[in-house]
Amino acid sequence: MTPPLTARHTPLAIEGFDTAHWRALADKRLDHPWQALPDHVHRSSAGRPWQGLAVWHQVGPVGDLYVPAHSNCVILVRRGNPTQLLQRHGDLVGERLWQRGESVILPGDTPSFWRSSAVRDNIHIDLAPAWLQRAAGGDVALGQCFGRKDPVLAAFADLLLASLDNNASLQPAFGEHIAMGIAIHLVENYALPGERPRTGATLTSRQMRQLTEAVMAGLHEPWPVARLADIAGLSPFHFARAFKMSFGATPHAWVHFQRMELAARLVRDSRKPLLEIALLTGHPSAAHFSHAFRRHWGVTPSDYRRS
């Protein structure tokens, strides 16, 4: 696999770059990237019962694009002819000849700028962070990739686009298996190096079991660090570090992930009212729950249940 383009830190002069427009992106946020480019959407998976996964085929003219941040990780695979591509992802800038079948990876929560010398003909895959957490077993951060030949991601893109013409894509399990496959590949090949645990800095297996049993039995309850630390018999300061070393996530992120896993099961497998599910998973209202569910899984609980 060829190495990605080495990006350069800004400030970097980009001819014709609209700084005011770029700064305005900080006040905007999208649920889906295609919301910024409705005229570019040739086909999409809108309406498919895919949890935290979407695919869409972008066809658009040459020109500058400024895209606000969104929570999902985005993979773009070039489908058309090669194009000279200038990009800014957050505070990094890169430029290369983007070849057919090559991938660009944009981590979540990152605004972006795109300038292409040829018409846009790209496949977008949007993946919710929850899938990356599942694949990694905890929090994980992806590096920004400004172009790389990756036959696996190209094959996933072609498969998802082709699936829009097949009834198999109407099954939730189809999207779940594909999403996990993509997530595993991203974690194995694009994750940033993590901090290695130090001797004595992790929890014992007994402490981990006690914490897991306590939290899973009371996901509707508040779980501040002090309460968790008391179960483990540690000070909050030492507990927070040991917890992350052991579970691969902060206490807050881990509890939130467990709540969202339970919420998805209850929405899918029961007919409980959403307010009841909200309360069972530690959310004060149905509106708060719906917002948290959509941010985590990429779809509202109502839409997930209808699918």
Give pLDDT tens digits for 66-103: 999 888 999 999 999 999 999 998 889 989 999 999 99
pLDDT > 90 in the chain, percent: 49
**Predicted local confidence at residue 197, as pLDDT:** 39
Integer CA distances (angstroms), 90 to 20, 38, 107, in order: 15, 22, 10
**Predicted local confidence at residue 98, as pLDDT:** 95
pLDDT > 70 in the chain, percent: 92
At 246, the amino acid letter reads S
The least confident of 58-72, 114-128, 139-153, 228-242 is: 228-242
The tokens describing 304, both together, are 């997930």
At 51, the amino acid letter reads Q
Alpha-carbon span 208 to 188, nearest angstrom: 25
pLDDT at 171 over 80: yes
pLDDT band at residue 238 using 50, 70 and 90 as cut-offs: confident
The least confident of 65-69, 247-251, 277-281 is: 247-251
pLDDT at 135 over 90: no
Determine how many CB atoms are found less than 10 A away from the CB of residue 155: 12
Phi, psi of 48 (to 5 degrees): -75, 145
**Predicted local confidence at residue 152, as pLDDT:** 96
**Predicted local confidence at residue 4, as pLDDT:** 42
The tokens describing 113, both together, are 């700028």
Q: State the average pLDDT over residues 220-241.
A: 88
Q: pTM for this one?
A: 0.67
Q: Which of 180, 182, 177, 133 is nearest to 155 (CA)?
A: 182
The least confident of 63-67, 126-130, 236-240 is: 236-240
Q: Cβ(138)–Cβ(254) under 8 Å?
A: yes
Peptide bond into 61 cis (omega under 30): no
Residues of the chain with CATH 1.10.10.60: 205-306
**Predicted local confidence at residue 25, as pLDDT:** 84
Helical (H) or strand (E) element with 127: strand 120-127
Residues of the chain with CATH 2.60.120.10: 8-190
The least confident of 141-145, 191-195, 247-251 is: 191-195
| CATH match for 205-306 among 1.10.10.60, 1.10.3720.10, 3.20.20.140, 1.10.520.10 | 1.10.10.60
The tokens describing 297, both together, are 């899984």
Q: State the average pLDDT over residues 164-188.
A: 89
Alpha-carbon span 270 to 86, nearest angstrom: 48
pLDDT at 220 over 50: yes
The tokens describing 167, both together, are 């009834």
pLDDT at 15 over 50: yes
pLDDT band at residue 298 using 50, 70 and 90 as cut-offs: confident
**Predicted local confidence at residue 194, as pLDDT:** 61
Name the CATH superfamily for 8-190: Jelly Rolls (2.60.120.10)
160 versus 206: the higher-pLDDT residue is: 160
